[in-house]
A and B are shown apart, each in its own frame.
Chain A
Amino acid sequence: MSGEGCSETLLLGHWAEVALKGCNRPQFERALRRAALQRLPGRSGVELRDGRLVVHLAAGVPAEAGIAALQRCFGIVSVRRARRIARPADLAALAVVAVEEARRAQAAGAESFKIAARRADKRFALRSPDLAREIGGAVAAATGLRVDVHHPDVQIGCDVRADAFYVWGAVLPGPGGLPTGTAGRALCLLSGGIDSPVAAYLAAKRGLALSAAYFHTFPYTGDGTRQKVVDLCRALAAYTGEVRLWVGHFTDIQSAVQESVPEPLRTIVARRMMVRFAEALCRRERAGALVTGDSLGQVASQTLEALTAVGEVAALPLLRPLVTADKTEIVDLARRIGTYAISVRPFDDCCTLFAPRHPRTRPTRGEVRDAEGRLAVGALLEAAAARSERLRVTPDGAEPYPPPGAVKG
């Protein structure tokens, strides 16, 4: 019986934490399946079977593209490119496919192997160690690969289920985390810099659907920066499916701060206004938390005192996933998730214009409140919100949201 003839190539996506979630488990699994269906190219089939995602790739879709898609689904901890042999089938069929997987690894330079066998179907005649020995013997004989159970170059998995055998040659890492949306929704503040999209990624990884706010200070910042933020959202949407982006009109607020706040406290006050603005947007988005890219001590407005002064205006939890991260760690992650190249794109950003010459690094609560005394906070925010726009950003592009002409219910 030929191995190729009766086996199907498919992808397996395993999760870890999802399985822990007791009664919520079906909800998590549905979210995961939905995410996988959305990310996979073409009309691929996704089923929940044996406590994992089984992906039947659409015709013409290369396995690599499918693997890359699953590696962007939060909740998945590992991805396997597997072969499925429908049962009833004899052990020889399983051995043939295992040998093929071993040959593939051998061609890629592997010299030693190990069989990791698992008899999930306890009615199967051979116990796991015996199965490993059987298949291992066949592979060693056919390929000449050396058996090494401690440090194998390749580990070939054999899985016996009630309806089929599964064989795979490599286990690839998934992104981990929890399926998008299962933890609720958060609104992250994006500046166009390196840190904020990484913070948004980390928040999304823990199951949060993403909304985002970018505060535009046209003409001090050109529309190039706005486009940069849209592109960052597109990169993030590759992991979350979509990002709802608010482009907040911040120019008038910035001007008011410039005119009425003492210079050393302008950055702090401007950031407090951003948090208030963002929190108002959270209500529109039904978002339960704010996310910022703050990293402790990185710049003057990120001292503990400054973070406190900015954070105290928020009633919602203010998440700072990067608070203890070093710049190099942030940059590494930004490169890995594909936001770095967008963040470092050169665009004129004249926000430095508003930066005080000597910012207060350790502001006290009292002086910040005094500095805000002459600012018409509520009126400024209301006017700015009315002139802000909302976009729905997917990996393919951005469009106004809700679409123009949509009738409000």
Chain B
Amino acid sequence: MGRRFVISRGVAWLMLACVAASACAGTRPHYGGTLRIETQGDPWQMPDGIARRLVLDTLTTVGDTGGARPALAMRWESQNADHRWEFWIRPGVHFQDGEALSADAVAAALTDTCSHTGAGCPWSAVHGVGPSVVFTSDSPAPDLPELLAQTQFGIGRQDASGAVVGTGPFRVTGFANGALTLVANDDCWAGRPFADAVEVRTRRTIRDQWLDLSVGKTDIVEVPPELLRQAQQQHLNALVSRPVDLLALTISPSGAFVSREMRQAAALAVDRTALYNVIFQKQGEVTASLLPQGLSGYSFLFLSDRDLDRARALRGGANASLTMLGADDAGATMQLAAARLALNLHEAGFNVQVTQAGSRQPPTLALRRVHLEAASPRPALDEMLARFGQNGTVNGTDAAVLWQAERGVLDNEAIVPLLWLPRAWAAGERVRDLRLSVDGEPLLADASLEGAK
């Protein structure tokens, strides 16, 4: 896989994302109607649950160019060399049950989030002070405004009935027969959404989703990247994001891979081209970087070529003890990709066996699909490091510093980036002005329905 090829795919995807996201509306959106969407997964899961984003707002959002923009916080200020941050809460905002949003409520919600995620939060303490929320941290947190835009930091609370309410454009009204129903929040601080309601049908296979779209039973469906060509052949109106999901192999430094040389051998043995061409049908971009090319501009510096001879040489005559490789979801595509990687590693002399998803023992080799929400280089690198369990924040903002920091992490060969993949959705004919967020999720509050009044 040549470096030029990698870049040209990256640029092409960026362009496609721009085209897909471009609105061509000369007529204004109509109000009313119910927007119906189907998903394979749980609409409330983090970080990409559709319903979660409709109900909960964050203190900030991420703009197209990656910087943080005001949302529930109107402005913010860094103090004490980024060890202390103050965010001023937007006045006049109410939760969907009518209770006013306060700095204390924001602090309580974020504290609750930190205690539940288990992964910890990028601050030591958070508390409300009058109209503002103050974050303090032991180490500098220069990207806190961008990090607070992540879905996991959505602001919500439980109402009297125990249901989660937020300040977002829709509120949950029920779940029945596999469908979650949400209705428009007329008093939403960002303006009432155009649709009166959203119905999310969950746990639908892609085949069923596409069938429902074809007969007009739903409005928006998922299009996995490996099925994008098929979607185009079927003339589905697909919106494609820029690359937002990293497919990566993580190697636990244990057993046969305790030494860096063995991990490097494994990294050199993987055939990204085959994954890209065959399994993911030439969608996304081949990568050896934690950031997509369109975001960093330097990902081509991380070589992604397969070098089986060098892999064998590095492995030498090491003992070929059995190593398990597992994928982080049971989907057929990920299982296929895991099997392909096991074959690659076998060719280099490793004895690798694919485990079924959900096995109790964490495998030494794990094929993971990691979602990226940030859209500017340093917060994105910080986010990816956190998602891969790496501690620390990157100091400095220029591209060379980020590249050095990333190289420092990848040199350990514990994370082997493979492909950056886009997200895609197909919309029915009556959906108007549907756009994707910077991380590839449909912005349902801004979409409207043709013919609604």
Q: Do A and B bind each other?
A: no
